[in-house]
């Protein structure tokens, strides 16, 4: 049994209108923040104040500890 080859005809004007717009992704870059974890972006002035994510985490933990103490004092009064 021989397989017949059919010639591909040019697409019609109507079908070209239905096709989605083609985008050139050859110059696309990966998102540097997409590492499968949640990322928070600091404003420039805060980024200058903290050297790395460890210092940010330490400062936020201290803030949470202070907040807990303030709440306890507020309840006792």
Boundaries of every domain in the chain: 52-77
- pLDDT (tens digit, 9 = 90+) per residue, 19-63? 777 888 899 988 877 776 777 888 999 999 998 889 999 999 999
- What sign for the dihedral angle of Cα 47, 50, 52, 58? negative
**Per-residue pLDDT averaged across 6-11, rounded?**
71
The DSSP result for 2-13, as a single string, is PPPP-PPPPPPH
pLDDT attached to residue 65: 95
């Amino acid at each position: 049994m021989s397989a017949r080859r059919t010639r591909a005809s040019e697409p019609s004007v109507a079908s070209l209108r239905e096709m989605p717009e083609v985008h050139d992704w050859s110059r696309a870059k990966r998102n540097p923040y997409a590492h499968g974890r949640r990322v928070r972006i600091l404003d420039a002035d805060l980024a200058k104040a903290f050297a790395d994510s460890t210092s940010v985490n330490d400062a936020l933990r201290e803030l949470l500890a202070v907040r807990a103490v303030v709440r306890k004092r507020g309840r006792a009064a």
